[in-house]
Chains A and B, each alone.
Chain A
Amino acid sequence: MTPTRPGPRGRALLLVLPALVPVVAVVGAALVSAALLSLGLAPLVGEPGLSLDAYRAAAGDLGTGIGLSLGIAAASTGIAVVVGLCLALAATAAVRRSRLLGALAALTIPIPHLVGAAAIGLLLADAGFLARLLGVDPASWPPLVGGQLWVAVVAEYAWKESAFVALVVAGVLATRAASYGETAALLGAGRWARLRYVTLPLAAPALLSAAAVSFVYTLGSYEVAALLGRAYPEPLPVLAYRLFTSIDLAARPQAAAVALTTTALALLVVLAALRALRRLAAER
């Protein structure tokens, strides 16, 4: 008997297996146990039974949480995309290239979000550095930290993520923008025409991917919103964490329900981004 050899597809699968197994094991196991918990199939006490009670109990908070989380992620990603693109353009421009801006953006990346959040808090709080620098009385300083508009939270995410967007986009532009830009200029395209017809389309796929990553990260991250946000309403991760650490063990399934909802939202965003990327690629 001759041993059957795996075909090219089988071999490819074998090669990715070492990476696939931990991902499936860790993420899969966590998701499955959260799903079981949220659906009442793995209760801490009592008989298991399929029910949507946890979702129903958390529905009110879940609704405001979804809106709030999406709002924060959209605002900070929007700002980060605009600022990051400008940084990348400045760092890779053929003329008047700003190495300083590029270096500053790169320096931002290794700072942990927790440290960034603390720094933003010290900067923007009503008795913070900025208020003192401008000589504004704490009473008349707008509530940036813990205020209704979540300004400090959005500012922190936007600041960190803009550096990430800049890094990714600059990486793409650095290798191709100069030669395509020269070609376009010699075909009569001025600065704005080059930006609109050449640079932006070249940067678009990288920009879209970076925006999707940044959005999903912001949607699921806990510490910045917990530090700089207000006590109520809560964004999804803060809500999930509070429910999970509650002394009321019955709240655990609700925490799992919130976590699963967050995961589903993130998944939807990623799928939408992939679809948009594919459409972008098909247009070319």
Chain B
Amino acid sequence: MHGRGVAPALTGFSLEVPAGSCVAILGPSGSGKSTVLRLTAGLDAPTAGSVHLDGADLAGVLPERRGMAMVFQRPLLFPHLSVRDNVAFADRVRGVPRRAARRRAEEYLGLVQLDGFGDRPARALSGGQEQRVALARALAAEPRVLLLDEPFSALDVRLREEMHELLADLRARLEPTILLVTHDHAEADALADSAAVLDGGRLLQAGPLRDLYARPASLAVSRLLGGRTEVAGTVVAGVHHSPLGALALPRAFPDGAAVLVLRHEAVQVTPPADPAADAVGTVVRVRRRGLRGLVTVEITADGGSATVDAELGPGQDVGTGRTVGLRLPAEDRWVVPVDDASDGPSAGGPRA
């Protein structure tokens, strides 16, 4: 999907979506994740490569014959139709009689908790309701694959969580196959069974989200998944050496320069005298997140300094400037190769 002299939007991308599962494509804007959806839907044609559905190549198959429905970031409800007729649209163009199509539309409106909204004009709805109708309309088409292109990113936080619950509920009832595009790893985590991390048109890593969080393949993946702690150092015989000291790794890594990544959820903040603390440092920054706080701790050693982000337990409170101990559980330590391409930290530093 590229012209002469233009960098391709996607290269070497291959992804499998098992039937009945929800796979998220996670990436920053401009990473080519929407291109994946448009190619899958047949809205754009690939310059090379192919899309297969149930083993059949979809090359040359028109979008309307692919059996896919898409929900975009904007609801795009047909303004000239009522809410009910929007949902009945797929049935109507399939030739289902009006009355039967409308009856089925009511069922799908019920599924998205919008019973009784059928008579309203499409434009007389709130943003969240519009997106629910768009979802009902797509589901009513009984697609073989449901494509979701950042469908909830224009909604406010509360509505987004409601939509996440609704979608989880719909998945349990209808078991649709879903390909979801999002830039929000929390959304992917909430909705999808597995994710593919995409950046610059390349697939960086794919797998269940637990794996991606715990064992990112690269710094870029760690950052896209919200990883904050990156400490540069060297691996020698399964031990990472850095300003944090010598930290034994849970499994073997090749010797050489490597960056230690730690999820802030896994790091525990303890009193400085804690004998089990792996490192002792000074709190340089505190960020509030409801009952929990997120602290940045600076650790200085002979070899330089490093910063580690940690999430406090509920009710736990430390002020800036305090000296604290940090427990870095061995099973949560992970190292990734030093990333030459990006501005990798030289002495380790969190990214806001």
A-side interface residues, number (CB < 8 Å): 19
Contacts of B122 in A (CB 8 A): 284
Given contacts A180-B78, A283-B80, A284-B80, whether A189 and B64 have CB atoms under 8 Å apart is: yes
A59-67, A131-139, A197-205, A263-271 - interface stretch = A197-205
Check B141 against A183 for contact (C-beta < 8 Å). no
Residue contact B80 to A185, C-beta cutoff 8 Å: no
Is B172 close to A, CB under 8 A?
no
In the bound complex, CA of A197 to CA of B101 (Å): 15
Known: A179-B74, A183-B76, A284-B79. A190 touches B93 (CB 8 A): yes
12 contacts between A and B (CB under 8 A): A183-B70, A184-B93, A185-B64, A186-B43, A186-B63, A186-B64, A187-B141, A188-B67, A190-B62, A190-B93, A197-B93, A201-B78
- Which A residues, 230 to 284, have Cβ-Cβ distances below 8 Å to chain B? 283-284
Chain A minimum-CB-distance residue to B79: A284
* Contact residues in A for B68 (Cβ distance below 8 Å): 186
* B:46-68 near A, CB below 8 Å: 62-68
Contacts A187-B141, A202-B80 known; 5 new A-B pairs at CB < 8 A? A186-B43, A186-B147, A187-B69, A190-B62, A284-B121
Inside 8 A of A185's CB, which chain B residues have their CB? 43, 62-64
Compute how far the CA of A190 lies from the CA of B76 in the bound complex, rounded to whole angstroms. 18
Q: Which residue of B lies closest to A178 (CB)?
A: B43
Pick from B64, B74, B80: contact of A188, CB under 8 Å: B64
CB < 8 Å A-B pair total: 72
- Does the CB pair A198–B69 fall under 8 Å? no
4 nearest CB pairs, A to B: A201-B80, A193-B93, A189-B93, A185-B63
> Is B180 interfacial (CB-CB < 8 Å)?
no
Determine how close the nearest CB of chain B comes to the CB of A1; give it in whole angstroms.
Answer: 46
Question: What CA separation (Å) do A193 and B92 show in the bound complex?
Answer: 9
Which residues of chain A are near B72, meaning CB under 8 Å?
179, 183
The SS class assigned to the A binding surface is helix
Given A179-B72, A182-B63, do A189 and B89 touch, yes or no (CB 8 Å)? yes
Contact B93 A179 (CB under 8 A): no
The distance in angstroms between the C-alpha atoms of A174 and B67, with both chains bound, is 27
Chain B contacts for A190, CB-based, 8 A: 62, 64, 93
Q: Which A residues lie within 8 Å of B64 (CB)?
A: 185-190, 193
A37 to B64, CA, bound (A): 64
User: Digit string of A164-191 for contact with B (CB within 8 Å is 1, else 0)?
Assistant: 0000000000000001101111111110
Mask, B293-307, CB within 8 Å of A = 1, is 000000000000000
Are B89 and A197 neighbours in the complex by a CB distance under 8 Å? yes
Q: Closest A residue to B143 by CB, please name it.
A: A186
Contacts of B196 in A (CB 8 A): none
Q: Give the distance to chain B from A91, nearest Cβ to Cβ, in Å.
A: 20
